[in-house]
Every structure is written in C-alpha cells, then in structure tokens.
Structure 1
Amino acid sequence: MLTTVWLLLSLGVPLLGFYTPVSCPQGQKCQLALLSDHDVLLECPNGKHWKYYSLTSKEVRILDSSTISNIEITSWGNLVINKPLPSQSGFYHCWQENVTQVTQFEIDFQNINFLHVTHKNLDTTALLNESLHLGAKQVMFTRWEPWQDCDRCGVPGERKRLGYCYVDEPLEDPIPCGLYLGESLGWLSRMQPELQIEACFVECDKKKPFSLFGSVTFDNFIFNEEQESLFLSCPLTSIYRPVSWEADNIPLTWQNELSGKNFNSSLDIVSGGRLLQVFQPATYRCFVDQEFVAQFNPSSTPVESLELVGPQMRKHKTQATARKAHSFSLKLKLLLMVGTSLALGLLLFNALCSLQGKNRNRMLLVK
C-alpha cells in the first residue's frame, strides 16, 4: 500500500515542479527577462491582488483567474503564468489587502521560437553585439545566465546556459530589449534569446539528498501504421532545468541533435528537451537534475498511451512540436491532480487510524 501511495505522490506533487519560481525582495522593483512558452510562478508573500500593465496595449488590468486564460492566482497569493506569450511582457504589481504594494516585476518574455542555439563542441557561434541603429551608442548584447548543472553524473553529459537580449546604454543599467524598445521599433533581428551547450563530466555526489519524487515507468506507448513518430514528455522539467534522455542506454545528446546524428529520435529545442520525438520502439529514459525520473517502455498491444502526443511525420521535425504536447499536458495534469487527492486522502486516513491504536508501530514518512 505504501508503494501505491508513494507512486501517487510522485505523480501528483510534481505539478508544482512545472513552474519556475521567480522572487523579488519585498518593496522592490525587479527587471528580468524570461522565455515565452515556459511556465513561471511570480512569488508574492502575503499578496492579495495583482495588477498588470501591458506594454502592447498600454492598459492596466486587475488580474484574477478569470481575467486571462493562462493566468492563475494561488491560495498563497502567487501568480502563475502558464505558457506566457511574448505579448504578455509588461509590469506585474502585487498588492496587499490594505492596498500597499508588495513588489513589482518588470518582465520581458522573449520569444522562444527565435531561440539561437549553439554548442561549444560544434562549429557554431553565439550572437554578436549590435548597435541599436547606425551610429547609436546603445548596444544590444546577450546577458548570460550562470551555467546549469551537468545533466548527468558519473558519465559524460552536457550542460546549458540561457542568454537574453539586453540593451546597454551609457551611464545606465542594462535593460531587457523588450522593455527598452517596447513597441517603438517593432521586432529587430538581434532581439533573440540564446541557448548555449557544452560537454561536461562530474562525479556523482554521494551526499546528495534523497530524491523526493522517485521515478515513474510508463509501459504503454506504441507505434501503429498511421503514425511514424510519437512524442514522449519528461515530467518535472523545463528549459530552466538540466534534462537528458537515453535510448536503450545510449545517450541522446544535444551535440548529436544539432549535428543531425540523432537518427531515430529528436530532442525538442523549444521545450528545452522536455519533449522527445521518437521514430522507433526502444526503452527511453529521462533524467532531471541528474536524477532518473521516468522510463518509457514500448508496448506490443494497441492501448491508448499517455505519452502519445499525436502523429507526426518525419519530415515535419520542427520547433513547433511543443504545441503538439498541449493536449497531453492537460490530460497528464488532470491525472496528477486526481492522484494527489487520492494519495493525500489515503495518508490522512492512515494517520487517523494510527492515532487510534496506541500499541501500533508508528511510521515516519520522510520527505
């Protein structure tokens, strides 16, 4: 029974893991750049109300879960933006019950579809600095985030870092391109976010804390005559976290992907590797933060698959694959919510029963 509870929890709790938390000191204004199409959670302790100023429409809106379809306010007052659009760049104000402003986020959601990808082991180069216009002192450049951890340990892996377009103006702090330009000049070719990858190797940390979520195995993805490929989705990950895949114990690397050597699969760039397009049956495994998270075993029986996103012909291997996963994501999140509810109810029932029996052995669940 405990195994069942742990499986349900491992399916349900990760719902929170899909969101990248973004914080800002209380009473401060924080400017930052993020990527479109990747969920974020704007933290606001003790917040009760949210207002949004749009850079596109120049309008101020009061936000709630019914105002904009991809925005939710949690019971703790945080703001969740699901798959943010570039047009949702703007100022997000958090207010307390007494109409005191807690914090303000000034966010530029840079377009993931124009992501410039390079690999240090290949003959590819990052974007060069560029003047805003001829003779201008303002320069557009890439501000790089720190390198993420190596995606594997004990074996060769890869690590990545994200870079965002910023404008450097003399005597001023750099500003994200979208916030600086607004709608004044429209979209410029240099306004591209970047993803840079390099090979890495690290030893496994034996003192690393035990993983909370464990792993999940899916045994029901199949190929049929109408489908030449399927999409597998690795739980708990986004482009902001290290993720890696392997097929039959063979690593599927970004280096091979970018050089066209992943013949039987394709890592999806827009999702940051969360989605894997596969063209033949194999045992696929994914790792997040060096932890084994999920395994996908091919099935020989024609059953409906949670991992099936939709049919896709080999010639259509493009960055638009992330949109194909939308229906899968909704179904999976619904299943996870049901699993979480059942698991928490069962845990509560067990806890009440254990309190009634003083002579029973006590069991401590450690997270």
Structure 2
Amino acid sequence: MLTTLWLLLSLAVPVPGFYTPISCPRGQKCQLALLSGNDVLLDCPFLKAYWYYHYSLSKEGWLIRPSEISNIKVTSQGNLAISSPLPSQTGVYFCWEEGNTEVTQFEIDFQNINFLYVTHNGLNEMPLQNESLHVGSKAFIFTRWEPWQVCNRCGVPGERKRLGYCYIEEPQEKPMSCGLYLRDQKLPHTRLRPEMQVEACLVPCEHSKEMDQPQFIYDYSQLGKLTDNLWLDCPLASIYRPVSWEANNTPLTWQNELSGKNLHSTLDIPSGGRQLQIFQPAIYRCFVEQEVVAQFNPLGALKPKEPQTRENKTQEPVSKTLSIPLWLKLLPFVGTVLVLGLLLLKTLSPLSGKSRNRTLLVK
C-alpha cells in the first residue's frame, strides 16, 4: 500500500528537468536564437537582479515584469528561469542591479519548435537550402548551425545531432535571426524554420569524463491503470543535450524513427527526444550525455496493441482507462470493511466479562 501511494505521489510531482544556462557578459547586449518549448535559464551577473522584458518587438511594445507571467520565474540566485518559452515571447530581456545603470540584455528569438525540420545523413536527407527573401530589400534566408553535440552513446553505435536556426542576411549587413529581423511581420514562407540534423557515430567511452548523473527508477507495475500508450519523460534531458533511449536493450534511433521503423514507440521531435511515447510493454532506459539516468517499467500499466502508423504517432496521446462496472469498483472496498469488522469483533470478544481495560492499536 505504501509503495503504491509513493508511486502515485512521485507521478504527481514534476519529473526533474534541465534548464539550459544562457549567459551574457556584464553590461553587454547578446543576440541569440533558441527553440521554443525548451527550458532555458538566463544568467544575470548582478547580485540583486531586477528583470524586465520587452514582450513585443514592434514599436508599440512595452516593458512588463516577468513575474507576472506564469512560465517565467526569478530564481533565488537572481537568474531568470523560462519554462517552455513561446515563440511570442521573442524579445529583449533586461537584467540590472538596483542603483546600477549598467544593464545586461538578452535579445532572444524563440523559434517555433513545431516547425522544426529534421534530417538524417544515414537516410540521404538534405538540410534546407538557402532561399531569397524580398521584404523591402533583397535578402536571403539561411541556416546558422551550432556545433555537433557529442555522441549520445559511447562504446556502442549511437547518434549525434546539431541544431540550426533560421537567419536572414542583407548585403553589407550582419545576419540576424529570422524572428528578430521580421519583428511583428507575418510571412507565409516555408523556409522560416529551425532545423535539426542527425548522423550516426561511434566513440569509445572515457570514464574520466563521466558526469556521474543521478539515476531515477519509475515502476508503473503497481498503479493498476491500464492504458493504450504512455509518455515517458527523461529526467535532466534537453534538446540542447545528447539524449538516447532503448527498449529491452534495443536502441531507439532517430534513423529508425524518421524511416518509420520504431514501430512501438515515438521519439518526440519538439522535445528533441526528451519525451518518448510508447505503445508496448518493455523496460525503457534513457541516457543523457552517454550516461543512463532513468529506467521505466510500464509492464503492468500498458495494454498491448497494434503499433500506430507514422501519421498517427505524432498526434497528442489520448489516455483510455478500462471501463469497469461501479459495483465491481466498490467490491474491494466493501470486502476490506467486512474483513476489518470481523477482525475487530474477534479482538473485542475476549474482553467481555473482564474488568481490566485494554487498548486496541490499529496500524
């Protein structure tokens, strides 16, 4: 009973997450592109930080307190934690210390993760090509790539990814991320999207560089809830970190995902693989930066079913519980009450006729 209650309580508490730290030199203005839907932590170099942000890039925008927004919080260290940032939260974030005129600015373009374009070199897929854009002056759209992340596994075949952001460049001008360049203009252009490129890799393990990350064990077998599918969330994972999954020691790769071969699971593209939708019981493990951080055992919570098609696997999951008659649901409760009543009568019966009082302890 205690184990079941602990499991229910642990599921009610959010899975430990990872906020990607973003820093900017003291008193400087930093311009960067990030992805919506993925948590970030803006570092303020001042001891007692005050935060404001210009929520709109149009001239009619104004400053408001981030604390007034549900997904933006100021930490005890004075940093700004943004959970699942929205594309509409593209703007300028200011931090400064009281009585100090020196201000650090983060001009951030949160590019829409739902438009992420994913390719895999093993499938001979090509990234997006440069395209022209006419918005008053001639410019072209291109992808600015970040460096490749490290391989998500070591000692065995793995994969690595790199993220690319939409940028626009005019002749004789510095490139600017698409959201900051276009500001409040809405253009129906299919090239205005971020990218993720994946390729296979194989690297040896370097034990001296192990991160020694904590491990989490999630056992769903005692919850008594039967569903068609579950979403698993890998703790400490982020699209900005190397992440991988395996089912019964079999890797769930991006190459198989993009080619439709992960028949009983779906790697979630918007989270960069941090989340996994499963349709079949197995022992699932997730790795972050080559280390296993969590194991999931849904053997008693999943109802086996046919794998969904590629088109249906990307839809939002709909949980379905097993329909049980009301009298059958109440049967365990009624039985428990009857058993406790019989035990109570049996315990109290020897006490009749005896002058000595006794205390009954119910644990």
TM-score (norm 1): 0.76
Q: Choose the corresponding residue for 2:314, options 294, 318, 325.
A: 318
How has the CA–CA distance of structure 1 residues 222 and 263 changed in structure 2, closer, same or farther, with 3 Å as cutoff? Answer: farther
Q: What CA distance in whole angstroms lies between the structure 2 residues aligned with 1:223 and 1:94? A: 46
Q: What CA distance in whole angstroms lies between the structure 1 residues aligned with 2:225 and 2:295? A: 24
* Count, aligned residues: 302
- For 1:166, the equivalent position in structure 2 comes to 167
- For 1:348, the equivalent position in structure 2 comes to none
- For 1:297, the equivalent position in structure 2 comes to 297
Aligned to 2:185, the other structure's residue is in SS state coil
Q: Is the contact between residue 229 and residue 280 of structure 1 (CA under 8 Å) also seen in structure 2?
A: yes
Can you list the C-alpha shifts for 1:326-351, whole angstroms capped at 9, x where unaligned? xxxxxxxxxxxxxxxxxxxxxxxxxx
Query: Match for 1:164: what amino acid?
Result: Y
- For 2:65, the equivalent position in structure 1 comes to 63
- For 1:119, the equivalent position in structure 2 comes to 120
How has the CA–CA distance of structure 1 residues 64 and 210 changed in structure 2, closer, same or farther, with 3 Å as cutoff? Answer: closer
Can you list the C-alpha shifts for 1:268-289, whole angstroms capped at 9, x where unaligned? 1111111111111111111000
How has the CA–CA distance of structure 1 residues 112 and 70 changed in structure 2, closer, same or farther, with 3 Å as cutoff? Answer: same
TM-score (norm 2): 0.76
Aligned to 1:271, the other structure's residue is in SS state coil
Q: What CA distance in whole angstroms lies between the structure 1 residues aligned with 2:185 and 2:270? A: 27
Q: What CA distance in whole angstroms lies between the structure 2 residues aligned with 1:299 and 1:225? A: 11
Give ranges in structure 2 of 5+ residues lacking alignment.
1-12, 320-363
Q: What CA distance in whole angstroms lies between the structure 2 residues aligned with 1:241 and 1:71? A: 22
Query: Match for 1:92: what amino acid?
Result: Y
How has the CA–CA distance of structure 1 residues 110 and 219 changed in structure 2, closer, same or farther, with 3 Å as cutoff? Answer: same
Q: What CA distance in whole angstroms lies between the structure 1 residues aligned with 2:135 and 2:64? A: 40
Query: Match for 1:233: what amino acid?
Result: D
Q: What CA distance in whole angstroms lies between the structure 2 residues aligned with 1:63 and 1:185? A: 26
User: What are the residue-to-residue correspondences of 1:94-243 with 2, within 5 Å?
Assistant: 94-133=95-134, 136-209=137-210, 211=212, 213-221=213-221, 227-243=227-243
User: What are the residue-to-residue correspondences of 1:24-39 with 2, within 5 Å?
Assistant: 24-39=24-39
Can you list the C-alpha shifts for 1:37-78, whole angstroms capped at 9, x where unaligned? 11111100215211211235632223242x111110112211
Structure with more contact order per residue of length (Cα contacts < 8 Å, sep ≥ 6): 1
How has the CA–CA distance of structure 1 residues 162 and 28 changed in structure 2, closer, same or farther, with 3 Å as cutoff? Answer: same
Query: Match for 1:63: what amino acid?
Result: R
Q: What CA distance in whole angstroms lies between the structure 2 residues aligned with 1:25 and 1:93? A: 13
How has the CA–CA distance of structure 1 residues 149 and 319 changed in structure 2, closer, same or farther, with 3 Å as cutoff? Answer: farther
Aligned to 1:207, the other structure's residue is in SS state helix
Q: What CA distance in whole angstroms lies between the structure 2 residues aligned with 1:221 and 1:262? A: 23
